[in-house]
Each structure stands twice: as structure tokens, then as C-alpha cells.
Amino acid sequence: MKLQNGALLSVQPGADITLFGGITLDNGSTFQNNGIVSLKQFGESVVTDFFDNTITAYSYGSGRFIFNGPGGHTVYSNNIFGRIDVDAADLTITSTLTANKWFLSNGRINTGNNIAVVLGTAASDLEASGSNANFVNSFFNGRLRRYINPATENSYLFAIGGGSTSNMAQLTNLSAAPLTGVQYLDASFAPKAGTDAGLIATENGAQYVSVNNGGVWHLVPDNAPVSGKFDLKLFFAGFNSLTDNSFGILQRPDASADASEWMVPAGSSLNPSNGDGRLVADNYALRKDVSVFGQFGIGQFSAALPVSLTNFDARRLSKLNVYVSWKTTTESHNKGFAIERRTENETSFSKTGFVNSKALNGNSNTILSYEFADNNGYSGITYYRLKQTDLDDREYYSVIKAVKGLNGNGVSVLLWPNPNQGQFSIKIDGNNGKKDAIITDLQGRHIKRIEISGNQQINISGLATGTYILTIPNAFGGNENFKEKILVIR
């Protein structure tokens, strides 16, 4: 069916029209629908697309547009639909598509670079049919925008996913402290950018060792909230390697690919072990009292460490070589150790070598010694660490050791343990003098000044749980500083 310029088609309340084909609207035509219009595909060869070339946008009315059939549909329109029903193989939008209400039964809504908009603020303005429980058969593959009114609605579902898998996000418990300053949220699900190198997030004394590669959720508001908070559920269909009570939601800036920026949102918490959102059988992770938006992922805690590592050291033997050594007192299912390094002008670590476990079948209860010679002629400061890998490919990171580079004076710095519970040790080799050190918060505010000489234990038990920066000015001479993040956990 085609409406030419100047034509008017009005579908009255109670009227039900079925079109075995598509609709094209010329600019200047008007389509008023207060009833039901079904675009039904009669065989896959019949085109049932919807193209509205209107330049000046208007509302079609309160009626329903049903896209139905065994094949797919393409929709282009700048106008506002009353309600869109999707019950097809898929629906592809080639413009920002706005409806007061969406009702999904079957088929993905592929948005591409466009946005599907739910203009109504009632929780039920995005609804699934009985055959589409939890939006498993029909969801938005791309960017979904929902307008929200937390003062009146306690929960909003975001029916998003990637490829063929639905991975919903849900904001709940909004009424307890309603968000203010936010009119809508843009939600999407996408592959995780970057690696886990540099991940430093901790919670309740446990360190996160990875963020699951199943994907991440992007929740971006039109404005940062002025106040308020919510509980966040993320549904992790298609995720592997999660174990009960060993995962939690982490957040970082929306565009970030830097693992060091993953964090536990301030003021938020997880339920106790075996509580809501802590078991794999729940099919979702839950974090309570969240007050920020951005990119969210499923972080995984470290289990009991499979290797007891001692005497990790890195020191420069010559201008072109650094000697890395370590010992283990016990090993369990250990594959081996990747040696990783980063220079002071780099933001992430990279692998420079791998040493297989000396333990028979990866298991040992005796002291084993390891060493690795790294061809490194970098003239500045290099930071080293080990990445221990289990036979089941789980990974764990050691402390970090910093060494001076080309034309160096033999000075090296080692800090451990990190994370710590308010007390750590720092060792400066090759410099017998006293050094001043400064502890700042992540905003650069001065927290504490300490004096370091040789091998010394530092007590910062008065500091709150969080991440701090330890700087030792001129630690290596030549105005070259040691700088490292310190994680205080309880």
C-alpha cells in the first residue's frame, strides 16, 4: 500500500486491518491509526516493510502496528507509533524508531547505528508475551532507549542482548531513593573491550581476577543522576566459568577498555553468600545501592590461590638484561608463569616470556626455584609481574616489581602485599639513603607522608578501604619516581 502526498488514511478505534505486504508513505501524506494495523507476511517472498518519508514528524495515534510473518521486516519512520508489536523472524530499523509501547513476542529488533525508543514511562511499556518469558525470543540487538520515572515506577527492564542471546539488564528498588536528574537511559550489550591486565578491584577482602568475556552492559543516562540509587540485575545467559558466590558486578567509564578502571561502585554491596544474585542458578548477578552509570561487567573473584609464591624479584644484571626470579612453596594444578612487563610510559602489561611449572602434573609441596632472563634495554623504569595460569586456564597475578633501566644505578623497588589490610612492606635495593614517600587518593589529594629506608613496614591502617597512590620521588635517582596503586581492603 502507498499513500501519496496529500492523502489521509484513518483507522478508527475497533477497526482491524491486515495488509499482506508493506506500506510506503510519501512526504505530505498522513496516517492516523487508532485501531490495529497488521503487516503480515504471506510467504517469505512478500515484502512487508514500512517506509515513511515524512519530513515533519507527527504521531500516528494510539493504535497498534503488528509486524508478523516468517521473514523479516525493515522499518523507517521519523514519526511516533502508539504501539509496536513484533512477532516475526526479526525487525530491522533504519532510523531512530519511537513508540509509546513495545510488545515483543518473537524476533530480534536490530537497531544498527540507530536507536529503538520506548517513550512511555510505565514499566509495562516494554512488555513480553507469554511465549517470550524474560525476552529470550525477542529483544533489542543494539541500542535501546527507555524513558523512566523512578518516582512512580520501582523497576525497569532493558530487553537487550547480543547476537542470538538475550542479556537483560534490570533496575530495581528505585522507589527507596528515586533517581533525580535522569530522563532516559540508553542501554546496549556488547563484547568486552580490552583484557584483564591491570585489574585491581577488590571487595570484602577478595580480589577480582577477571571480568567475564561473555560481554558487558552499557547503561548511559542523558544526564548524570543528581541523587538516588538503585539495585542492578544483569542476566548472564551464555556466560561460562562462573561459580557460586565468586562473581559480582563491576563498573567502569562507558568508553573504557582499561581493566584498571573496573571498580566496585562506591556505596554498593552484594548479598551474602548464597543470597539473591550470588548463585549461577539465579541466571543473574545483583548489586545493591548503585548510584552511577557507565559500563558494567561480571567480575570474578580469586579462589584460594593455587600457588604459594615467595621471593619474587627482578633486578638489572646489565644495561640490556633484567633477571627475574621467584620461588614457590606449594603448587596445585599449575601450568606455569607468564612474565609480563610494562614501561613507565605504557598503560598496560605485555607478555615477554613463559616458564612452565616444574611441578609434576602441576602439583608440588616442596620449594621450587624459577628464573627468567629478559632482554630489556629500556632506559627508564620497567615494572614486572607474574601471571600464574592453572591447568584449567584460570589466571592470577603477583606483586609488581620496578627496576631501573639503561645506565641504571642498580636501584629496584618491591612492594607487597598489595592488596593489603592497612599494612604493607616496601623494599628499596641499591639505595641506602632515606626517601620520602607520599600517599594520595585517586583525586590527587595528599593523604599521608612517610619516610622509607631500606626494607620497611608501612602502617596505613587508619585509611578507609579504597585505592591510593604511593609515590616515592627520585626513588631511582635522576628525578625518576616510583609510583604504584595501593589497595586497602578489610
> Does the structure show a pLDDT above 70 at 48?
yes
Closest CA relative to residue 426, chosen from 401, 457, 468, 463? 457
> Does the structure show a pLDDT above 80 at 304?
no
pLDDT of residue 142: 97
φ/ψ of residue 103, rounded to 5: -125, 115
pLDDT band at 302 (very low <50, low <70, confident <90, very high): low
Calpha distance 384→42 (Å, rounded): 65
pLDDT of residue 318: 84
Calpha distance 383→404 (Å, rounded): 9
pLDDT of residue 355: 97
pLDDT of residue 69: 82
What mean pLDDT is predicted for residues 238-258?
92
Instruction: Give the Cβ contact number of residue 256 at 10 Å.
Output: 15
> Does the structure show a pLDDT above 90 at 451?
no
Residues 6+ apart with CB under 8 A from 447: 439, 440, 441, 463, 468
Calpha distance 189→147 (Å, rounded): 18
> Does the structure show a pLDDT above 70 at 70?
yes
What mean pLDDT is predicted for residues 183-201?
91
> Does the structure show a pLDDT above 60 at 106?
yes
> Does the structure show a pLDDT above 70 at 432?
no
Residues 6+ apart with CB under 8 A from 446: 438, 440
Closest CA relative to residue 384, chosen from 302, 473, 316? 316
pLDDT band at 452 (very low <50, low <70, confident <90, very high): confident
φ/ψ of residue 190, rounded to 5: -150, 165
**Length of the chain, please?**
490
Q: For residues 280 and 430, which has the higher predicted lDDT (pLDDT)?
A: 280
What mean pLDDT is predicted for residues 228-247?
93
DSSP string covering 155-188, please?
-EEE-BEETTEE--EEEE--SSS--BS--EEEEE
pLDDT in tens, 145-176: 999 999 999 999 999 998 889 999 999 999 99
Calpha distance 129→102 (Å, rounded): 11
pLDDT band at 268 (very low <50, low <70, confident <90, very high): very high
**Domains in the chain, start-ordered, CATH in brackets?**
2-301 (no CATH), 304-408 (2.60.40.10), 411-490 (2.60.40.3080)
The answer to whether residues 187 and 216 touch, using CB atoms and an 8 Å cutoff, is no
Calpha distance 84→94 (Å, rounded): 15
pLDDT of residue 185: 98
pLDDT of residue 414: 72
The answer to whether residues 159 and 139 touch, using CB atoms and an 8 Å cutoff, is yes
Amino acid at 380: G
pLDDT in tens, 359-411: 999 999 899 999 999 999 888 888 898 988 888 777 777 777 888 775 555 56
The answer to whether residues 250 and 263 touch, using CB atoms and an 8 Å cutoff, is yes
Closest CA relative to residue 65, chosen from 9, 123, 141, 113? 9
pLDDT of residue 35: 98
Calpha distance 340→322 (Å, rounded): 12
What mean pLDDT is predicted for residues 443-451?
87
pLDDT band at 489 (very low <50, low <70, confident <90, very high): low
φ/ψ of residue 87, rounded to 5: -145, 70
pLDDT in tens, 202-230: 777 577 878 999 999 999 999 999 999 99
Among the listed ranges 170-179, 180-189, 383-392, 448-457, which one has the minimum average pLDDT value?
Answer: 448-457
The answer to whether residues 396 and 416 touch, using CB atoms and an 8 Å cutoff, is no
Q: What is the mean pLDDT of the chain?
A: 89
> Does the structure show a pLDDT above 90 at 28?
yes
pLDDT of residue 463: 78
DSSP conformation class of 269: B
pLDDT band at 416 (very low <50, low <70, confident <90, very high): low
Percentage of the chain modeled with pLDDT above 90: 59
